[in-house]
Amino acid sequence: MNESIHMHRAEKLWLRFGFLMLAIFLATITTASIIDGISPPSRVQTIDPTKVAQTPPFDHPGVRKISPGHYEVYYVAQIFSFNPQSISIPVGSHVTFYITSSDVEHGFYIPATGVNTMVTPGWVSSVSHTFTKTGKFLIVCHEYCGAGHQFMAGSIEVQ
């Protein structure tokens, strides 16, 4: 801070508090990112949306078992549905979702979980989650995609 600016002692304390709070937040986020790998979904992989139906693995959307407890699920988002519409997986599974759009911008969101990504035409989105509870989970498109956007949903049965 420029020495020539007059600053009240109370204001210095207040700003120090502000800086410290932000520094703690940034340190927490950075540590979680480096040590626990908690980062926003940031896959950089392109695809031609006009050829999604011919491009493996999106030519056969659905669940793939990788190893016991590990699954990959491939989704095609299109107005106004997800393909596959519903899937089921065993409880305790670690699931990596891959989603791409064959038309406009969509979203892929499982309410009240950290599974949340945009689905941009031309790109493949990816996000992982471990399902520790049984039940039926809702998947919704959370980006406006047109007149039927409110119907664009899917489900995951965790058994």
Residues 28-87 that bind other proteins (CB under 8 A): 29-30, 32-33, 38-50, 79
Our CA angle for 65, 49, 128, nearest 5°, is: 35
| 77, 89, 119, 158: residue in contact with other proteins (rule CB under 8 A) | 119
**Minimum distance, C-beta of residue 72 to other proteins, in the bound complex (Å):** 16
Q: What is the DSSP letter of 114?
A: S
Q: Are 76 and 61 in contact (CB under 8 A)?
A: yes
Token pair for 58? 């999106």
Among 55, 83, 96, 116, binds other proteins (CB under 8 A): 116
Interaction between residue 5 and other proteins (CB under 8 A): yes
Stretch that binds other proteins, among 21-29, 60-68, 69-77, 87-95 (CB under 8 A): 21-29
Residue 58 in contact with residue 76, Cβ under 8 Å? yes
Please choose, out of 54-62, 68-76, 88-96, 141-149, the segment that lies near other proteins by the rule CB under 8 A: 141-149
- Could you tell me which stretch among 55-63, 69-77, 88-96, 115-123 binds other proteins (CB under 8 A)? 115-123
3-state helix, strand, coil in the chain (%, to 5): 25, 35, 40
CA 126 to chain centre: 7
Which residue in the set 61, 87, 117, 158 belongs to the binding site for other proteins (CB under 8 A)? 117
